């Protein structure tokens, strides 16, 4: 069961007007997703849309072949984001009521601002039987580790159910931090639009009994055999906050250099933001990752539409030609993740042409260079150098 548990509706700031249930439900299976978080579950108009769907299991709503579970994100008094997964519509309404006196934009913004601290939010969430954890935990603007050096400083003794890695980190990086050894990691897209390079660009594969909130909660706490069996996400170097960089001209800096410059870019005077890689190095316990036994593999992927665009030598990933070929591939082989990882390149060539098949071969062999992301600019995969040879072959077979 593939699930993307963090998206935003059109009622959050800076989101696509196409973030409608029907459109998300139609796009999700193309990415191989069976379960998607609704996002913005505290927003009255969005919750009203969810309410029109058939409830097919405890806290699970269905549109077409896609299941939805209630989720939302809130920003606390220190600008730290928390992702919340809720058991029911009534729990969402209860949470909205309890947050009301601490928020001025609860009815307006799908991702409301609260005047509460992390620990206070966690206590309220836990009392409503919902679960929470820090969103995109290492990013420089709105995350727990931009503000604190430990989980406890944010949450006190309150229980959290997971930590979301964010696009610029993976388990290799996060497992250098001792206090996270027992925490389940989630890899979610945080999509603001339903299109294939956003929705499901990161997701989790769960092992569950049936599909319900309680079963999902058990998986987060790794009970009764339920668990996350695979995290699928960006190569963290592709994330837009991976490296320390200027937010105006995107020049990369070493941490010491940025400190010496008092976080002002020597080229353009813009602000320098600490990258996720450097932040994790600061708080790391170990130089090398220590993966606990329960930690699932992390499969590093990149959006297929971007690989298609490169193969077709088209710079705009949203161009109709790229979108058409992407759709043909995904329709022919059921989902994007299968094309990226499973399908025989010879079969891919028959549908999408030899150039795409060749890039998929090289992608699987990790035969490419990466221009790392930073300062708000995504990284890029560069296929132009030939013949570096295969490293670890990507495969989904063992999971």
CB atoms within 10 A of CB 363: 20
Contact flag: residue 198 with Zn ion (CB under 5 A):
no
Size of the site for Zn ion (CB under 5 A): 10
CB of 167 to Zn ion, least distance (A): 11
Q: How far is the CB of 181 from Zn ion (least distance, A)?
A: 24
CB nearer Zn ion, residue 47 or residue 246: 246
Least Cβ distance, residue 146 to Zn ion (angstroms)? 12
**Residues within window 90-129 making contact with Zn ion, judged by CB under 5 A:** none
CA distances from 174 to 236, 287, 379 (A): 11, 11, 19
| Contact residue for Zn ion among 25, 130, 151, 265 (CB under 5 A) | 265
Task: Specify the residue, 126 or 251, whose C-beta has the smaller distance to Zn ion.
Answer: 251
Binding mask 64-93 for Zn ion (x = CB under 5 A): -----------------x------------
Question: What residues between 235 and 264 interact with Zn ion by CB under 5 A?
Answer: 246, 248-249, 251
User: φ, ψ for residue 210 (rounded to 5)?
Assistant: -105, 180
What is the smallest separation between the CB atom of 34 and Zn ion, expressed in angstroms?
Answer: 24
Minimum CB separation of residue 242 from Zn ion in Å reads: 17
Residue number, 224 or 267, with CB nearest to Zn ion: 267
- Burial label, 14 (beta-carbon count in 10 A; 0-12, 13-18, 19+): exposed
Backbone angles phi, psi at 133, to 5 degrees: -160, 170
**Which span (131-139, 192-200, 202-210, 225-233) binds Zn ion, by CB under 5 A?**
131-139
The label of the residue with tokens 């963290």 reads 236
**Alpha helices, H only, 167-240:** 171-174, 213-220
Instruction: With beta carbons less than 8 A apart as the criterion, state whether 180 and 138 touch.
Output: no
Q: Which CB, 146 or 364, lies closer to Zn ion?
A: 146
Binding of residue 268 to Zn ion (CB under 5 A):
yes
Residues whose CB is less than 8 angstroms from the CB of residue 25 and which lie 6 or more positions away in sequence, other chains included: 36, 63, 64, 65, 66, 68
Short-list 118, 136, 132, CA closest to 76:
118
Give CA–CA dist 2/259, Å, rounded: 41
* Alpha carbons 12 and 230: distance in angstroms, whole number: 29
- Pick the piece of the chain touching Zn ion (CB under 5 A) from 63-71, 132-140, 155-163, 192-200: 132-140
Of 12, 66, 128, 135, which lies in the binding site for Zn ion, with binding defined by CB under 5 A? 135
Q: Which of 93, 181, 207, 270 binds Zn ion (CB under 5 A)?
A: 270
CB of 163 to Zn ion, least distance (A): 13
Residue 191, beta-bridge partner list: 7
**In the complex, what is the shortest distance from the CB of residue 257 to Zn ion, in angstroms, rounded to a whole number?**
13
Query: What span, in angstroms and rounded, lies between the C-alpha atoms of 368 and 181?
Result: 31
By the criterion CB under 5 A, which residues form the site for Zn ion?
81, 135, 246, 248-249, 251, 265, 267-268, 270
């Amino acid at each position: 069961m593939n699930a993307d548990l963090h998206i935003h509706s059109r009622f959050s700031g800076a989101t696509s007007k196409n973030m409608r249930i029907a459109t998300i439900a139609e796009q999700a299976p193309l990415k191989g997703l069976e379960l998607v978080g609704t996002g913005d579950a505290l927003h009255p108009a969005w919750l009203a849309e969810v309410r029109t769907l058939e409830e097919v299991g405890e806290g699970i709503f269905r549109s077409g072949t896609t299941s939805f579970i209630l989720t939302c994100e809130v920003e606390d008094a220190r600008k730290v984001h928390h992702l919340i997964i809720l058991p029911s519509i009534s729990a969402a309404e209860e949470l909205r009521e309890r947050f009301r006196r601490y928020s001025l934009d609860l009815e307006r913004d799908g991702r409301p601002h609260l005047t509460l601290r992390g620990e206070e939010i966690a206590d309220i969430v836990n009392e409503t039987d919902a679960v929470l954890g820090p969103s995109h935990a290492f990013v420089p603007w709105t995350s727990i580790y931009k503000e604190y050096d430990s989980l406890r400083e944010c949450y006190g003794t309150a229980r959290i159910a997971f930590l979301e890695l964010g696009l610029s980190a993976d388990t290799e990086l996060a497992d250098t931090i001792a206090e996270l050894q027992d925490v389940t990691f989630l890899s979610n897209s945080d999509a603001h639009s339903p299109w294939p390079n956003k929705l499901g660009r990161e997701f989790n594969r769960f092992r569950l009994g049936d599909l319900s909130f309680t079963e999902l909660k058990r998986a987060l706490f790794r009970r009764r055999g339920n668990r996350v069996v695979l995290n699928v996400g960006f190569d963290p170097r592709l994330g837009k906050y991976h490296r320390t960089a200027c937010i105006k001209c995107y020049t990369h800096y070493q941490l010491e250099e940025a400190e010496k410059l008092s976080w002002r870019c020597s080229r353009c005077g813009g602000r320098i933001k600490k990258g996720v890689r450097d932040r994790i190095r600061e708080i790391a316990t170990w130089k090398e990752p220590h993966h606990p036994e329960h930690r699932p593999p992390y499969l590093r992927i990149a959006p297929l539409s971007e690989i298609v665009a490169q193969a077709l030598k088209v710079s705009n990933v949203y161009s109709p030609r790229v979108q058409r070929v992407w759709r043909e591939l995904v329709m022919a082989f059921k989902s994007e993740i299968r094309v990226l990882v499973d399908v025989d390149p010879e079969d891919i060539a028959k549908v999408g042409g030899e150039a795409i098949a060749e890039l998929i071969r090289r992608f699987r062999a990790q035969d490419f260079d990466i221009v790392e992301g930073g300062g708000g600019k995504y990284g890029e995969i560069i296929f132009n150098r030939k013949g570096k040879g295969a490293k670890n072959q990507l495969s989904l077979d063992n999971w």
